[in-house]
Amino acid sequence: MPTPTTTIRLPEELKARLARLAELEGTSTHSLILDAIAEKTAALEQRQSFRAEARERHAEYLATGEGVAWEDMRDHLRRRVAGEDAPPPAARRLGK
């Protein structure tokens, strides 16, 4: 199956920077552009995934009132950083 073509217009200064970097990296400008688009796409997809998860967790918190207090999570993380095998804190009803 043929790969579709998309045309983009690049400012001359950016085009020159890409060409210089492609030469230094031993690759083509085309490859650099594809890699950059793929990296940006993956980063935006991950950001959208994080946002969706945050919305879901917030809705769950609003529905149940349960969550992990920052103090509990902070203590857990400190123990993990210190090398302890610390189970994650349990969710509990938080006061408002």
List the domain boundaries for the chain.
12-93
Cα 35 to Cα 16: distance, rounded to the nearest angstrom? 17
Q: Is the confidence at residue 51, as pLDDT, over 70?
A: yes
Give the separation between CA 7 and CA 30, rounded to whole angstroms: 12
C-alpha radius of gyration, the chain, whole number: 23
In this prediction the pTM is 0.73
Q: Are 53 and 60 in contact (CB under 8 A)?
A: no
pLDDT of residue 16: 98
Sequence-distant (6+) residues with CB within 8 A of 94 are: 65, 66, 67, 69
Q: What is the pLDDT of residue 57?
A: 94
pLDDT at 27 over 90: yes
The Cα–Cα gap between 39 and 32 comes to 10
